Structure formats: structure tokens, C-alpha cells
Amino acid sequence: MNAEATMQKACLVTGSTGRNGAGSAIVRWFAKKGWRVVVNYSRDTQAAEAVAAECAALGAADVLVAKADVTSDEACRAMAAEIERRWGRLDVLVNNAAVTTFNDHKNLDGLSFDDFQRVFAVNVSGAYVATRAVAALLRRTGNASVVNMSSVGGLRGTGSSMAYAASKSALNAMTFSFARVLAPEVRVNALLPGFIEGDWLVNGMGRARYESVRAALIAKNPLKSVQTPDEIAEAIWWLVNGPAALTGELIQLDAGGRLVV
């Protein structure tokens, strides 16, 4: 690896293949900046290859497509080893992979024990396992960053289901823990979006409810908007490249929705 290549920074975004989603927007954003990027996925190889092609076309220094289920410690460690072999460094990890079970919070019988297990396995344990797998690479960089994709639901007990809200609250707590443990070489923060436009919510809520909720939020939010995947990517970029003293923070990005009384 030549001296010029070692200066090229590398970013891993877990769950970065969703169509019109935040994960693919984030990895494309870093690609546009000329970074090396890892397109991580667990099932859909075709979608991963499509995102990788987009990243290459946008100017990524290099693109690695890595199949790894974040609930598998073995798979995450293998992905970390592949990154080390290919580039010898990792500068940024974005823990974006997440799942939910859409269920009205009032419907207590709508969530099973298995629903909770699945949501926590990906949203909490998955972020832990992925971070642990690449911790040594991040520390070696000496000025690295981890961003956990959380949710305002983790603060308010709202969102797609009670299991999802609880998992994001746990992820917030883990953000504090990792910020202490990985300092001073690695900064760890969390981004807490509100409603993000895109297919993930459309598919989970149904088109009619999606449009109704979106319109209601735009009407009441102080900034009269909801979030787009590109706005999430821009915020992640700021967290990675912003104030060097920023760590252990939960940054809300909800068009001022938290201010509504």
C-alpha cells in the first residue's frame, strides 16, 4: 500500500442497501467525498452490488461489498478482517442496520417475545458486535468516529413499536458507554432522526397511513418538514467531520418536532 493510498479514509455503513433509505444515502455521501466505502448487507446481493456501482460512479476511492449479518459475531469479525486486509484502516463506522415490527403501542398483544428478541438482536446487540469487531482498526486510526443511528423514539417512547423505541433507548445508553471505552482515539455519537421519508416507512405503515402521518408532522413541526435520507447523510457527515471535542452526544434531527407542546 503506497503512501497516497494510506491517506484515503474508509467508512463502513451497516445495512447500507435499503432502497431509498438512509443507509444507502449515507454510503453514497461518503463515496461522493472520495472515501473508500464498505457496502454492508445481510441478504440481498443484487441490491448491494447496485449500491456499490452507484458509489463507484460517484467517485469512491474504492468500494468493498461485504455480506455480514450484524447479529453474527463471526461474520462481523470476518468483515473487519477483510477491511484490514484490503485497506489496513477504518476511520468511520455507522451503525445503521435496524429492524422493527410495526405495531400500535396500545396493542400490547401485538408484540411477541420473539418480536422483542429480533428487534434487540439487530438494533442493540448488532451495533455492539459490529463496533467491537472493528474497534482495534478504529483505535489504530487515532482519530476515528462511530455514529449510531438511533431515533427520537428512543427518548420519547414513540415510533413504529414499543420494541423499537426501547431498542433505540438502549442504543443511546450504549453510545455513552462506547464513548467512554473507546476514547481518546475514537469519538462515539448518536443521531436521533424523526420521521424519515422513504420506502422503509411506506412498506411498514402502508401508503395511506404514511402520507397521513407525514402530512400531520409537516403541519405541526416548527420547520414544516420531515427528514429525507440525504439530510440524514449530511448530518452523519457533520458528526464525523465536525467538532473534535464532540463525543457521547445524542443529536436530535427532527425539524424541531421535540419543541411541539
Query: Could you tell me if residue 217 is inside a domain?
Result: no
Report the CATH number that the domain containing residue 163 is assigned in CATH.
3.40.50.720
Q: What is the DSSP string of the chain?
A: --HHHHTS-EEEETT---TTSHHHHHHHHHHHTT-EEEEEESS-HHHHHHHHHHHHHHT-SEEEEEE--TT-HHHHHHHHHHHHHHTS---EEEE---------TT-GGGS-HHHHHHHHIIIIIHHHHHHHHHHHHHHHHSSEEEEEE--THHHHT-SS-HHHHHHHHHHHHHHHHHHHHHTTTEEEEEEEE--B-SHHHHHHH-HHHHHHHHHHHHHHSTTS--B-HHHHHHHHHHHHHS-TT--S-EEEESTTGGG--
**Do the domain assignments include residue 258?**
no
Residue identified by cell 446481493 is 45
Instruction: Indicate whether 221 belongs to any domain.
Output: no
φ/ψ bin of 120: left (φ > 0), alpha (ψ from -120 to 50), beta (otherwise): alpha
- Domain range enclosing 86: 7-194+229-251
Q: Give, for all 261 residues of the chain, the pLDDT tens digit.
A: 333 443 589 999 999 998 789 999 999 999 999 999 999 999 999 999 999 999 999 999 999 999 999 999 999 999 999 999 999 999 999 999 999 999 999 999 999 999 999 999 999 999 999 999 999 999 999 999 999 999 999 999 999 999 999 999 999 999 999 999 999 999 999 999 999 999 999 999 999 999 999 999 999 999 999 999 999 999 999 999 989 999 999 999 999 998 987
Would you say residue 136 lies in a domain? yes
Kindly provide the b/e burial profile for residues 191-221, where b requires at least 16 CB atoms within 10 angstroms of the residue's own CB.
bbbbbbbbebbeeebeeeebeeebeebeeeb
Number of domains in the chain: 1
Question: 222: cis peptide before it, omega within 30°?
Answer: no
203 is a domain residue: no
> Residue 19's pLDDT is what?
79
Within-domain flag for 215: no
Domain contains 120: yes
Distance, CA of 258 to CA of 7 (rounded, Å): 40
Where does residue 36 rank: exposed (0-12), middle (13-18), buried (19+ CB within 10 A)? buried
Q: What is the amino acid identity at position 210?
A: Y
Closest Cα to residue 182, out of 236, 128, 232, 235? 128
Which residues form the catalytic set? Answer: 164
Q: For residue 224, give Cα distances in angstroms to 35, 219, 251, 257.
A: 33, 6, 19, 9
Does residue 202 fall inside a structural domain? no
Residue 7: what pLDDT?
Answer: 57
